[in-house]
Structure 1
Amino acid sequence: MGSVNLESVNKRYGDITAVDDIKIDVADGEFLSLVGPSGCGKSTTLEMISGLTTQSDGQIYIDDEDVTALPPKDRNIAMVFQNIALFPHMDVFDNMSYGLRIRGADDDIIDRRVDEAVEILRLDGMLDRMPSELSGGQRQRVAIGRAIVRDPEVFLMDEPLANLDAKLRVHMRTELQRIQRKLDVTAIYVTHDQEEAMTMSDRIAILNDGELQQIDPPLTCYEEPANVFVAGFIGSPSMNFIEGSIDDYRFESPITTIDAVELDEPSAVTLGIRPEDIYPADDPRADRTVGSVRASVDVIEPVGERMFVYLLPDAPGGQSTDGAVALDGDHLLMSVDPDTDIAENEELDVTFDQSSIHLFETATGNALIHGLKREPTPRS
């Protein structure tokens, strides 16, 4: 088994810093996902762990061994890429066994490891097939099998499901989790798809502009985001943000005022609230809410089990805002049950679930509060 430790790892290309002082510890048998937008440094980080890219600074350890200067072949890792890259002139058996054969492994070892991989990956009866005779999911399983037979300490996967259709991607997501748990192997998985990261991982490491923003279990990142970036990136649809300020235990903005805020120092803050935590004022759950926003319904999107309602808030006095003054965006997005009686152009009042309000310092973006209490802190 192999733990992975990155100690102050940097990667620079001239004046451009692609990865900035990354510190990550991955435990034996852990499934860690690196997630973030395109260009955030997640693939570069994976390539440095593998040895395909040389870091500018920092140390990399695999199973407590310093591998910083070792080539990929000496790191006992296996990689699965977005591009499956099977040899088209080789059958499944030869593709899966190729890495062992070029290392001079005995035939009995090759046969045993391929048989074990076939059982794990459910590829029975396919060893004599050519890649052109396989489906996309089967080809991806063969690529994974090619990695499994090497018996590595660490699996490194760079968006291996990106080229599959949506239904097959969900199926393979489940398969990868099953395989990783059966093998009890450390896995580091790169994806830009937050749903993949949330559903597959023991922890997720969220990167932006080459910097590590947060590394925690998926639900912690969702419920207690470290900053505005994490709050906006994790969760679909994204969190709503309302710009305002704190004064005398009160959050004030052009569209709403909220009491019982445990902050009394005057400061500019950003309120975050997820669409599912906004309720119509007549909702039975409204007894645990705070604030009130008068808004008109702009667009309604039924999406099966939920219905998304795009609201245009009104400023005090009934004058509509232009969005930029009160919101980070043009709309306030609310998620409700599909049978909720709401129509486009309707005027309604909505409120916020008190326990699900997040407050961030506007200047830094860092989190200040996750959830408001019923009563404010007594004033001294």
Structure 2
Amino acid sequence: MARVTLDGVTKRYEDVTAVDDMNLDIGDGEFVTFVGPSGCGKSTTMETIAGLTIPTEGEIYIGDREVTKLPPKDRGIAMVFQNIALFPHMDVYDNISFGLRIRNYEKSEIDRRVEEAAEIVQLGGMMDRMPEEMSGGQRQRVAIARALVREPDVFLMDEPLANLDAKLRVHMRTELQRLHRRLDTTIIYVTHDQAEAMTMSDRIAVINAGKLQQIAPPLTCYNEPANQFVAGFIGSPSMNFVEAEVAGGRLEAENFHVEFDPSTTDGIAPGDRVVLGVRPEDIYLERTAEGIEYATELINARTDVLEPMGNEVFVYLVTGNDTETSMDVAAGEASDDQLLMNVDPDTQIEAEEDVSVILDRSRIHLFDAETGDALRHGLIDVASAESGTPERGVGDSD
């Protein structure tokens, strides 16, 4: 195991900055996932750790050693790539042992390491198989075993599950978690799939445009996103965003308003422009909202598109007077008169139905309209909530 530290790492390609002043501290035995959209700099960041790319600025440490300019073979790392890249003319044993053989390890040591690695990834009895005789998941396990026999300080995995089918990806996610628990070694994992990041990681490093947006445990990124980008990227389906203006004790959006206690929102003043964020699971139909303690006033809406997902139904809502917005929703061009809501699959609801919904104020997020930085998570006074001060809920009257 080894600690990995990036101190001000920057990588430029002529006029393009792929990684911008990256500062990370990854602890011994930690599973950290780099996640972000394509082209955000996550793979380049990993390549600088691996030694495949030399940073323009900054320093990289693995353990107590600075490795910024060391070649990959001297860094104590092993990589598993998206493209499995097994030698097609070698059987499983020869593929796994190749790196040890070219380093002239003793035959007995090679056999020991290969046997241990094969047991860890459950390849027993397959040592004489050729890659073409194996499934995608089995070939990926061979690639992982080939990295394991190196007994590295750090494992680097660059989208290793991207080429597998959906069912196999879920299976391999579980296998990687078991592998990490068994080895208790440092793993740095790259993916654009936020579901992989949420389910496997001790911490997630969310990256966009070469900059680190937030590094925190998965549920912290989900429940307390550092900015609007993290809030929109982490979570599927994405968080709803609506522009609003602060007006005393109200947030005035285009088609509805949300009341709050202005004494509990330091740094937010009347006239400020903010972005209100609320996740689909925190929007409720009036008829199913019983027990929501911190409910907003009713919001009138009309259902547009329904997407049954089996365990839930995604309901696209239109809150304005213009109901001709289906094409915008389908194109992913959500506007301030559209909200996405999750409902139970047994809920009786139809397309083009007039409904009333509420938002859970304790789960509303506020972001600065200009910078996107998070201003507040939850529009209630935590102290008052803990002391039992009554808040207005569904069914309360003036």
| Shorter-chain TM-score above 0.5 | yes
Alignment-derived partner of residue 241 in structure 1: 241
Q: How many angstroms apart in 1 are the aligned matches of 2:360 and 2:370? A: 25
Read off the aligned partner of 2:315 and give its amino acid letter. Answer: V
**2:300 is the counterpart of 1:289:** no
How high is the TM-score relative to the length of structure 1? 0.95
Q: 1:227-255 deviations in whole A, cap 9, x for unaligned? A: 00000000000000010111213211111
Give a deviation string over 1:28-50, Cα, whole Å, max 9, x none: 00000000000000000000000
Answering whether residue 230 of structure 2 is matched by residue 226 of structure 1, we say: no
Give the superposition deviation at 1:264.
3.3
More displaced stretch, 274-283 vs 185-194: 274-283
**2:164 aligned counterpart, secondary structure:** coil
Correspondence 1:133-212 to 2 at 5 A: 133-212=133-212
1:35 matched to which residue of 2? 35
Task: Show CA shifts across 1:296-350 (max 9, x none).
Answer: 1111111011011001112xxx5669789xx646621000101111111111111
How far is the alpha carbon of 1:256 from its aligned partner?
A: 1.2
Verify the 8 A CA contact 1:313 1:321 in the aligned structure 2: no
* Secondary structure of residue in 1 paired with 2:311: coil
* Separation (CA, whole Å) in 2 of partners of 1:175 and 1:80: 14
Partner of 1:355: 362
Q: CA RMSD in A?
A: 1.9
Partner Cα distance (1:232, 1:19) in 2: 21
- Cα distance in 2 for partners of 1:146, 1:22 equals 30
Structure 2: distance between partners of 1:205 and 1:376: 31
Give the aligned partner of residue 104 of structure 1. Answer: 104
Task: Say if 1:258 and 1:129 are closer, same or farther in 2 by CA, change over 3 A.
Answer: same
Give the unaligned 5+ runs of structure 2.
385-398
2:273 is equivalent to residue 275 of structure 1: no
Q: CA deviation at 1:266?
A: 2.5
8 A contact 1:33–1:204 mirrored in 2: yes
> SS of the residue aligned with 2:376?
strand
Residues 129-152 of structure 1, C-alpha deviations (whole Å, 9 max, x = no match): 111111110000000000000000
SS in 2 for 1:290: coil
Deviations 1:79-101, CA, capped at 9 Å, x for gaps: 00000000001000000000011
Identity of aligned residues (%): 60
Gap runs ≥5 in structure 1: none
Question: Quick one: structure 1 residues 255 and 285, their matched pair in 2 at CA, closer, same or farther if it must change by over 3 Å?
Answer: farther
Bigger Cα displacement from structure 2, 284-293 vs 348-357: 284-293
User: Aligned partners of 1:264 and 1:375: how far apart in 2?
Assistant: 19
Per-residue CA shift, 1:246-292, capped at 9, x if unaligned? Answer: 12132111111111142434300000000000001222144531143
**Residue equivalent to 1:334:** 341
1:303 equivalent in structure 2: 309
Q: Larger deviation: 234-243 or 292-301?
A: 292-301
Q: Which segments of structure 1 move beyond 2 Å, counting only runs of 4 or more?
A: 261-266, 285-288, 318-324, 327-331, 374-377
**What is the CA–CA distance in structure 1 between the aligned matches of 2:117 and 2:94, rounded to whole Å?**
13
- Structure 1 residues 346 and 376, CA gap change in structure 2 (3 angstroms): farther
**Relative to structure 1, is the Cα distance of residues 46 and 330 closer, same or farther in structure 2, using a 3 angstrom cutoff?**
farther
User: Which amino acid counterpart does residue 48 of structure 1 have in structure 2?
Assistant: T
Aligned residue among 352, 372, 375 for 1:365: 372
> TM-score w.r.t. structure 2 length?
0.90
Aligned length: 373
**Amino acid across the alignment from 1:347:** D
**Which AA in structure 2 matches 1:203?**
R
SS in structure 1 opposite 2:296? Answer: strand
Q: How far off is 1:376 after superposition?
A: 11
Distance 1:319 1:49 in 2: 52
